[in-house]
A and B are shown apart, each in its own frame.
Chain A
Amino acid sequence: MEEQKFIINFSKQFDETDPELIEFNTKFRDLDEWSSLTALSVMAMSDEQYGVSLTAEDLGKSTTLADIYRIIKSKL
């Protein structure tokens, strides 16, 4: 599992946000477009790309992309 690829996969869940604003240490909740629907998109992406079921609790305790990345990696 590659960090750069993960950031791209994460960015793809946004329609209006400039991908350059999304980095490994970005606090995703601070992005204007972050919504309950993007949260679901990230969960679906984790399931489809990595075969990992990210729970609501996993997302809840994450602040940055890096936090989510580490959780997915630990479940691989």
Chain B
Amino acid sequence: MMKAKIKAISYYLPEKVLANPEINELFPEWSIDRISGKTGIYNRHISGDDEFSSDMAVKVAEKLFEEHQIDRKHIDFILLCTQSPDYFLPTTACIVQNRLGTPTSCGALDFNLGCSGFVYGLGLAKGLIYGNIATNILLITAEIYTKFIHPQDKSNRTIFGDAASATLITLNDGFAEIGDFDLGTDGRGAENLMIKKGGAKYPGISIQEEDVLDEFGNVTNPAKLYMNGAEIFSFTSAAVPELIKNVLSKNNLQPDAINLYIFHQANKYMLNHLRKKIQIEEEKFYYFLEDCGNTVSSTIPIALTEAKKEDKLMGNVLLAGFGVGYSWAGCILRIH
């Protein structure tokens, strides 16, 4: 019987680090260590000035090929999840295909999703395999949110970091079989996590955009990342417990059949709240954000890689991603 499996995962973090002491110097009135105690984030990696999504995508794919002895000739599809493509067109995945030297017979596309993107990518890859369209799919996530954060936006600078991940999904060969999915979308939340300017609707970005100060002292402007943390918190509190319930029922599993839960690593505070609300035991709930922060679509593959290193991947692993859109997605991995 046909199965879609994860064969290998690698991730890449840019060299430059924004650590707490530097944030402390920038915002002395902001007790960063106390805040880190709650968010669980102490270091964030920042993409270089000349480093863009395609560059990180190529670096992480090369790392995957090297770490897992994968022959790039066998890649027959590239799925690239990014919200910060190099250009409007062409598709970043096409640029990545050329730079990686994968066969020109391989399909390639970008898809624009944030924190739900990795789980969506697994779903798309599974569909390509089951549809007999591809058998060796390279799923890449690459995001450079830090380039869109206003220098005076202390909240978002504290939370987000840049990263990329590469996952090989194959027909029948791998350590984790991709089970059934639950997905969801609610575009009513579009404005609560947004970069408003720079797309086709509001194209012009002036050198001096008008800065806006929020009630918590964070500065942003319409060309920079805006996040309404309270609204996002309300959304996740309502949507994620339902998502978990649906993933379990679609896979015919009871909660006690799950060996490990890996959620999008938004921040520790929100994760703890969700964990308690869904009544998941702490030892079955994986955290990995201390040294990289919220890396959007890369948090789940990074956590999967680290959990695998720690021998924590076994039995049924439940993945859940949720955020910008609003968009959410969950699935089960059955570990061999």
A interface residue numbers (CB < 8 A to B): 15-16, 29, 34-37, 39-41, 43-44, 47-48, 53-56, 59
User: Is B269 positioned at the interface, with any CB of A under 8 Å from its CB?
Assistant: yes
**Beta-carbon contact of A36 and B155 below 8 Å:** yes
Question: A16-B34, A29-B215, A47-B273 given as contacts; is B230 within 8 A of A39 (CB)?
Answer: yes
Chain A interface mostly: helix
Please give, as numbers and ranges, the residues of chain A lying within 8 Å of B269 by CB-CB distance: 37, 40-41, 44
**Beta-carbon contact of B38 and A43 below 8 Å:** no
**Beta-carbon contact of A53 and B276 below 8 Å:** no
Choice from B216, B230, B231, B277 contacting A47 with Cβ under 8 Å: B277
**Beta-carbon contact of B270 and A40 below 8 Å:** yes
User: Is B100 positioned at the interface, with any CB of A under 8 Å from its CB?
Assistant: no
Question: A37-B38, A37-B269, A53-B237 given as contacts; is B230 within 8 A of A43 (CB)?
Answer: yes
**Beta-carbon contact of A47 and B155 below 8 Å:** no
Question: A36-B218, A40-B229, A40-B270 given as contacts; is B234 within 8 A of A56 (CB)?
Answer: yes
Please give, as numbers and ranges, the residues of chain B lying within 8 Å of A40 by CB-CB distance: 229-230, 233, 269-270
A60 to nearest B CB, angstroms? 8
Choice from B34, B155, B234, B276 contacting A43 with Cβ under 8 Å: B234
Question: A29-B215, A37-B38, A39-B229 given as contacts; is B276 within 8 A of A55 (CB)?
Answer: no
Q: Which residue of B155, B215, B218 has the most chain A CB atoms within 10 A of its CB atom?
A: B215
Question: A53-B234, A56-B230 given as contacts; is B270 within 8 A of A37 (CB)?
Answer: no
* Distance of A26 Cα from B233 Cα, bound (Å): 24
* Distance of A35 Cα from B216 Cα, bound (Å): 5
User: Is B228 positioned at the interface, with any CB of A under 8 Å from its CB?
Assistant: yes
B203 to nearest A CB, angstroms? 29
* Distance of A15 Cα from B36 Cα, bound (Å): 13
* Distance of A35 Cα from B214 Cα, bound (Å): 11
**Beta-carbon contact of A36 and B234 below 8 Å:** no
